């Protein structure tokens, strides 16, 4: 039988091994970035929503002890007040966790949470983040983080920037950052966690992704900007439940970063196909909202949710065929990320609350305690893009050219509910029950209809059908 002393010895040995392994991974990345001895690697998170805060906290847990070699901080805007109901809930969370309670008492920080609970003091989001509490994820205390509210101070000397802003906020924030970096001799590496897209209709309809927004606004070389996506849930990652991610981008950085980011509970693979993975990461949020609605409207009927899953995934696969030259390479990651988001994500939660009447669309897509619901803007972007007649495809039953959105009834229903606001949430069920709805296999079995301009926006690249898998169309974004 193993005694307590032996258990402690084993734990200490495991910790020492992990620390040594962490030093090796950090040394590898420092060498690639050309960091001199005595010059710490500076990692900065921009945006402090649930996933952004957890991501920096995870790195802090893994490498925080090596503070002479690596320094981490996170930027969020100052001045965001914590309302009294949230402060009351936060107080309950603190008192339910002995480790957190002791830490705050040792820091002489507990009293301010007592005062906030009583309504005698106002807490701020950046203030509680320093103590390890993310406003969008109160129930999961993190490790304390170094929080900076001055953007220039946060990013001016960063070696690695982690973008965790909603896609709708990237342009204004990174335009500022680009001005701060004008005098830099070398640009940082940027890891974008953002989901969502912008639809640009002129001169040709195409998609702009978060990494492209960052390149446009900062002048950072495209090879220095990477995308990291799921499937994962922020709270589960921090609680050390198994999670998986892919880091996509240039070979120069992605393998070393995958090695650096990988943890025993957080498996990170690498992939060269940045743009299509990034777009699909935004697309699944669209259909997650509908999944939440269907679950709420049918009392969590397994059959109804299964039928919805069949139709929404067929639409996603169809859209993937429009966007990717080799969509079969995305099937696994796309379905896995979709599945976890439909099961347990803020977009599905939002759809559920709308269907139950506990939230109103008029309240907007930034929800207290949850942050930005990215699927709403993505619904508008994808719908506007795919309704363009210049992108016409052949209808599988009518045998005539139609805009691609005509083959996406779920997307159309969500657009009427969330953007036009002329249909109730129940319209999502009507879309499933429509007698004109055809078997989703028709979409999946259509001839390959890759439209290169959708990702690259090249005016001279015309619509072109690929007659067989052996045909090759060069995509200047992915290099395929």
Q: Which residues of the chain have pLDDT under 50?
A: 1-18, 458-480
**pLDDT at site 20:** 57
Report pLDDT for 17.
43
Distance CA 236, CA 288 (A): 18
| CA–CA gap between residue 59 and residue 65 (Å, rounded) | 11
The three state secondary structure string of the chain is CCCHHHHHHHHHHHHHHHHHHHHHHHHHHHHHHCCCCCCCEEEEEECCCHHHHHHHHHHHHHHCCCCCCEEEEEECCCCCEECHHHHHHHHHHHHHCHHHHHHHHHCCCHHHHHHHHHCCCCEEHHHHHHCCCCCCCCCCCCCCCCEECCHHHHHCCCCEEEECCCHHHHHHHHHHHHHHCCCCCCCCEEEECCCCCEEECCCCCEEECHHHHHHHHHCCCHHHEEEEECCCCHHHHHCCCCEEEEEECCHHHHHHHHHHHCECCEEEEEECCHHHHHHHHHHHHHHHHHHHHHHHHCCCCHHHHHHHHHHHHHHHHHHHHHHCCCHHHHHHHHHHHHHHHHHCCHHHHHHHHHHHCCCCHHHCCEECCCEECHHHHHHHHHHHHHCCHHHCEECCCCCCEECHHHHCHHHHHHHHHHHHCCCCCCHHHHHHHCCCCCCCHHHHCCCCCCCCHHHHCCCCCCCCCCCCCCCCCCCCCCCC
Per-residue model confidence (pLDDT) at position 456: 67
List the one residue out of 284, 272, 376 whose CA is nearest residue 336: 284
Set 35, 195, 284, 370: catalytic member: 284
d(C-alpha 225, C-alpha 254), whole Å: 10
Cα–Cα dist 138/182, whole Å:
37
| Total-model pTM | 0.86
- Measured at the CA of 71, the angle between CA 21 and CA 61, to 5 degrees, comes to 50
Can you tell me which residue has the tokens 């397994």? 302
Asked about 284 being catalytic, the answer comes back as yes
Burial label for 66, CB within 10 Å (0-12, 13-18, 19+), is middle
Please give the domain boundaries of the chain with CATH numbers for all domains: 17-79+146-271 (3.40.50.720), 81-130 (no CATH), 275-456 (1.10.1040.10)
CA–CA separation, 308 and 303 (whole Å): 9
Please list, in sequence order, all residues whose beta carbon lies within 8 angstroms of the beta carbon of residue 468, skipping any fewer than 6 positions away: 448
């Amino acid at each position: 039988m193993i005694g307590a002393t032996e258990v402690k010895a084993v734990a200490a040995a495991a910790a020492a091994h992990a620390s040594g392994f962490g030093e090796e991974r950090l040394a590898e990345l420092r060498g690639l970035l050309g960091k001199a001895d005595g010059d710490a690697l500076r990692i900065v998170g921009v945006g402090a929503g649930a996933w952004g805060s957890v991501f920096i906290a995870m790195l802090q847990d893994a490498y925080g002890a090596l503070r002479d070699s690596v320094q981490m901080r996170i930027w969020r805007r100052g001045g965001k007040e914590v309302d009294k109901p949230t402060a009351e809930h936060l107080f309950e969370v603190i008192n339910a966790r002995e480790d957190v309670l002791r830490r705050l008492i040792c820091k002489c920080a507990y009293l301010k949470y007592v005062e906030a609970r009583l309504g005698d003091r106002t807490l701020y989001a950046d203030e509680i983040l320093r103590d390890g509490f993310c406003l969008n994820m109160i129930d999961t205390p993190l490790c304390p983080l170094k929080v900076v509210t001055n953007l220039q101070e946060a990013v001016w000397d960063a070696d690695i920037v982690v973008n965790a802003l909603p896609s709708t906020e990237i342009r204004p924030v990174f335009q500022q950052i680009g001005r701060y970096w004008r005098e830099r001799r070398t640009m940082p590496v940027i890891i974008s966690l953002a989901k969502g897209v912008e639809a640009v209709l002129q001169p040709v309809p195409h998609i702009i992704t978060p990494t492209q927004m960052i390149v446009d606004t900062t002048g950072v070389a495209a090879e220095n900007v990477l995308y990291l996506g799921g499937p994962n849930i922020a709270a589960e990652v921090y609680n050390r439940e198994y999670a998986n991610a892919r880091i996509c981008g240039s070979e120069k950085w992605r393998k070393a970063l995958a090695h650096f980011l990988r943890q025993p509970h957080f498996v990170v693979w690498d992939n060269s196909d940045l743009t299509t993975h990034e777009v699909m990461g935004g697309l699944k949020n669209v259909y997650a909202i509908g999944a939440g609605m269907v679950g709420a409207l049918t009392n969590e009927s397994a059959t109804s949710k299964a039928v919805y899953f069949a139709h929404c995934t067929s639409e996603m696969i169809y859209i993937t065929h429009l966007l990717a030259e080799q969509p079969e390479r995305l099937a696994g990651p796309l379905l896995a990320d979709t599945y976890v988001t439909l099961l347990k994500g803020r977009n599905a939660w939002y759809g559920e609350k709308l269907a139950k009447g506990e939230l109103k669309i008029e309240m907007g897509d930034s929800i207290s305690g949850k942050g930005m619901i990215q699927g709403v803007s993505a619904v508008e972007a994808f719908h506007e893009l795919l309704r363009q007649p210049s992108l016409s495809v052949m209808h599988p039953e009518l045998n005539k050219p139609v805009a691609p959105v005509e083959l996406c009834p779920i997307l159309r229903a969500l657009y009427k509910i969330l953007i036009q606001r002329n249909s109730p949430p129940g319209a999502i069920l009507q879309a499933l029950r429509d007698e004109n709805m055809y078997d989703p296999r028709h979409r999946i079995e259509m001839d390959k209809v890759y439209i290169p301009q959708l990702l690259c926006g090249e005016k001279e690249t015309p619509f072109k059908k690929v007659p067989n898998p052996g045909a090759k169309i060069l995509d200047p974004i992915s290099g395929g």
